[in-house]
Amino acid sequence: MRLSDTRPGTAFIVDKVLIGGEIGKRLADMGFTQGTTGHYIRGAFLRGPLQIRIRGYDLLIRRCEARLIEVKI
Amino acid sequence: MKKIISVALAGNPNAGKTSLFNALTGSHHKVGNYPGVTVEKLEGFVDHGNLRFKIVDLPGIYSLTAYSLDEVVARDFLIEEKPDIVVDVLDSTNLERNLYLCLQFQELGIPVVGALNMTDEAEEKGIKINETLLSESLGIPFVKTVGTSGKGIKDLLDKTAALVASKNSKAAEHAASTKSLKRQEPLQKVPQYGEEIESRLAPLTKLIESDRAFCDRYPPRWIAIKLLENDENAIKKMQDHAKGQEIITKAESDRAWITGHFGKESEIVITEQRYGYIRGAMHETLIQSTSGRASFTEYIDRLTMNHFLGLPLFFLIIYGIFKLTFALGEYPAALLEAFFGSLATLAQIVIPEGFFRSLVVDGIIGGVGGVFSFVPLIVILFLCISILEDTGYMSRAAFLTDKALHAFGLHGQSFMPLMLGFGCSVPAIMATRTLKSPRDRIATILAVPFMSCGAKLPVYVLLAGTFFPKNAYNIVMLMYLGGVVLSMFSTMLLKRTVLRGPSTAFVMELPPYRLPTWKGVFWHVWGKTWSYIKKAGSIILVASIVIWAITTFPQPRDEVEKTQVFAADFAVTMAEASQEERDLAVERALDEYRLEYSIAGKIGKIIEPAIRPLGFNWKLGVALVPSFSAKEIVVSTLGILYGSGSEENEESESLRQALQRDPGLNPLTALTFMVFILIMPPCLASLAAIRSEAGGKWMLFQVVYSMTLAWIVSFIVRLIALPFLGA
């Protein structure tokens, strides 16, 4: 499943970043690599950005970027 | 003479780089810009033993790709300037991702010292780092530091000096031992990417090494890795290589092989290998005992990022800042105004009557003084903003507002500049620097002027108060709201036309809440205020003089005759009035005649046909001319035009009566004029800010675009309002 399909408050394991290029590279740079555990903490009002905890820090990504990350629960 | 060693201070954003820089250099630093870009460059010196470190503060970055302007600047600096040493500041509470950048410095072949900063915070969180083991496994000297208190600074300098010494001795050894073409062994080890990748890297690196001149400029292994990462910037650099085309072709086939082998893009594979290497090194050196208790940050975020309370709380904070700025700033602003007022009076006494006095009083003191009165407001506004920024609340604001702004093609980080736009466009445009993507930045910069700034308010107040006495407040509010709506739709339009392009990723760190330091806040506020003052002192000064000149020259030669004509006229039309009143009327008529005769008046007449469809007469045309330099000048120009002297403000009753007497003005025209003022090109200071932040091309675009838009929207507003207000 995609990261955008998970529910707030759940943990996930990154399986694959689905695209390369600028956006995929940035996501990988920020720590979304295969096998990494992360937590989806909360989402903003009206399907706004997601707060994700990964590699010991928090970051915000938009739903459209979360759709590019394949995860396992 | 001490030996000067150039040190690049680098690191992730939010790793405490600025406080460490201050701790290292004290107050001995100067602010500049990196060549060609508006990224600020801080430089400072610190002496240690017989060495003098020249420390350059690089912008905070996450990686050495060419993703943001900051990264490009940092990368170019490291490659082109080749500093002797990189001191990498790492956030100890978030070591894994911070090491990711550290390794990339190592790859560049520049010796790296790591400052494990914020050690105190890490220990509080239960993170224990064995820096000796970490140093051994990565081949980088690490030192524990606390930038805010200066702990570990001496140790950091010692380690840096030691690394310099070992680099020098290796270089000497190398020079003495070989005269062969064998390349110098790297000083530190480099990250390994696993067998498969290394088997591709080795031949590629060898091929790159074939051009020695090229390799003197760029480290071959680093270029090879960047080529495998499909880095456009590195591919472009290959044009300088003797075998450039061959290498690019080879790299392409290597990338295809990696993608086939691993089942994902090669740039992703390399990143994963790099993180894998870090994991391996960290495995034994870092112990984290998790308490399971929610952190302080988490408790606050439960409120500030709450689904329902987050946004109301955010608006409350913004409202509070504006209230504070204008309520508190009013007093010093009034003092400054009084100061410039008495300065003008003094000038009137000291300087004999004539052009020079008029230039000093009306031109220089009037123009520059008006802009300077905004300084207290700017100081308070930036004080609040830098506190919000340094505590980490700004990222929460981006979280809350991104969805709404993204719908129009803006960004969560656009919010703050847009808010600032209600105060003054100049600092608002400067505040867009936090936006990473140039397209988002330009979109935000172009949206800012539609936020009605403090200088447009007097114009609204005068016209709304005069022509809509019952609804003045609502009309002013309508102007503000209209500006916001227009900015959103304008951005949508621009994003679909001139600013079209793939949407950039919104990936933003959410740092924990931290207490801002006084020093940090001070430098922040001072920097912004100073650049505002500099603009006021240069561009506004010139503009004020120009406006003064075109409203003053040329002077009519027949003033004496005209005076007699006017006097004779008024003797008939104002027969019952006293002599004093008649003299005043003559004086007003003369002022108007002079203005009509001046360059500004001629321009007004020339542009009259263009603004006639909007219902503006030549007098409004004249008022528009100086409004390019500052919008509040419209009020005083109307004051001159409508014959009550330039000492007018928006509350003045005589000016209001004079405006109402003009048959060419009515509520419909007043409304259209306000809309025009709202949309037309911003003041010169703002245009200068746009030029320095986005470039001359975008400044010109802004002028043409907003002029066109102002005309079209005003025309439409006039058509719509016609049935309600009548002609």
Give me the DSSP letters along B554-570: SPPTTHHHHHHHHHHHH
Pair (B228, B93) in one structural domain = no
If you measure CA to CA, which chain A residue comes closest to B274?
A29
Domain boundary among B256, B273, B288: B288
B711 falls in which pLDDT band (50, 70, 90)?
A: very high
Q: Are residues B117 and B10 in the same domain?
A: yes
- Report whether pLDDT(B4) > 70: yes
CB contact residues (below 8 A), chain B span 190-249, against chain A? 229-230
Do B199 and B154 sit in the same domain of this protein?
no
Alpha helices, H only, B373-408 = 375-391, 393-407
pLDDT of residue B180: 43
Domain boundary among B288, B317, B343: B288
Structural domain for B249, as ranges: 194-288
Here the CATH number for the domain that contains residue B162 is 3.40.50.300
Q: Quick: pLDDT tens for B160-191.
A: 999 988 888 877 776 666 544 444 445 677 88
In this structure, the answer to whether residues B18 and B160 fall within a common structural domain is yes
Residue-wise pLDDT for B376-408, tens only, equals: 877 887 788 888 888 889 889 889 989 988 889
The domain that holds B223 is classified in CATH as 1.10.287.1770
Question: Are residues B199 and B146 both part of a single domain?
Answer: no
The complex's ipTM?
A: 0.94
Q: Name the residue of chain A whose CA is nearest to B309's CA.
A: A45
Q: Determine the pLDDT at residue A28.
A: 92
Lowest mean pLDDT among B329-333, B341-345, B469-473: B329-333
Is residue B58 one of the residues assigned to a domain? yes
Question: Same domain, yes or no, for B146 and B198?
Answer: no
Domain assignment present for B243:
yes
B100 and A CB contact within 8 Å: yes
- Residue B169: inside a domain, yes or no? yes
The reply to whether B95 and B163 lie within a common domain is: yes
What total of structural domains would you count in chain B?
2
Average pLDDT over residues B502-511: 81
- Decide if A49 and B507 are in contact by the 8 Å CB cutoff: no
User: What pLDDT, on the 0 to 100 scale, is given for residue B174?
Assistant: 67
Rounded to the nearest angstrom, the minimum Cα separation between A69 and chain B is: 12
pLDDT at B228: 92
Q: Which helix (H) or strand (E) holds B676?
A: helix B667-679
Q: What is the mean pLDDT of residues A18-27?
A: 85
Q: Chain B residue closest to A52 (CA)?
A: B510
* CATH, domain range A3-72: 2.30.30.90
Confirm whether B62 is domain-assigned. yes
| Residue A1 C-alpha, separation from nearest chain B C-alpha, in angstroms | 17
The answer to whether A3 contacts chain B (CB < 8 Å) is no
Q: Is residue B121 in a domain?
A: yes
Pair B133, B226 in one domain:
no
Q: Alpha-carbon distance B121 to B676, whole Å?
A: 54
Please indicate whether residue B626 or residue B17 has the higher confidence score (pLDDT): B17
Q: How many CA atoms lie within 13 A of B125 on its CB side?
A: 22
Closest residue in B to A18 (Cα–Cα): B264
Check whether residue B157 and residue B231 sit in a common domain. no
Q: Is B412 in the A-facing interface, judged by CB distances under 8 Å?
A: yes
C-alpha separations of B470 from B464, B475, B650 in Å: 9, 10, 16
For residue B448, give the DSSP letter. Answer: G
- Per-residue model confidence (pLDDT) at position A38: 93
Looking at the structure, tell me whether residues B29 and B74 fall in a common domain.
yes
B366's tokens: 């009037």
- On whether residue B632 sits in a domain, the answer given is no
Lowest average pLDDT, out of B67-81, B526-540, B668-682, B709-723, goes to B526-540
- At B611, the pLDDT band (50, 70, 90 cuts) reads very high
Mutate to test the interface with A, among B258, B399, B402 (most CBs of A within 10 A): B399
Please give the C-alpha separations between residue B114 and each of B8, B90, B166, B279, B450, in angstroms, as whole numbers: 12, 7, 16, 17, 46
Interchain contact, A65 vs B268, CB within 8 Å: no
**Is B252 touching A (CB cutoff 8 A)?**
no
Identify whether residues B28 and B162 lie together within a single domain: yes
N-to-C CA span, chain A? 8
> Which residue would you say has higher pLDDT here, B559 or B469?
B469
Residues 451-510 of B with CB under 8 A from A: 503-510
On whether both B10 and B148 belong to a single domain, the answer is: yes
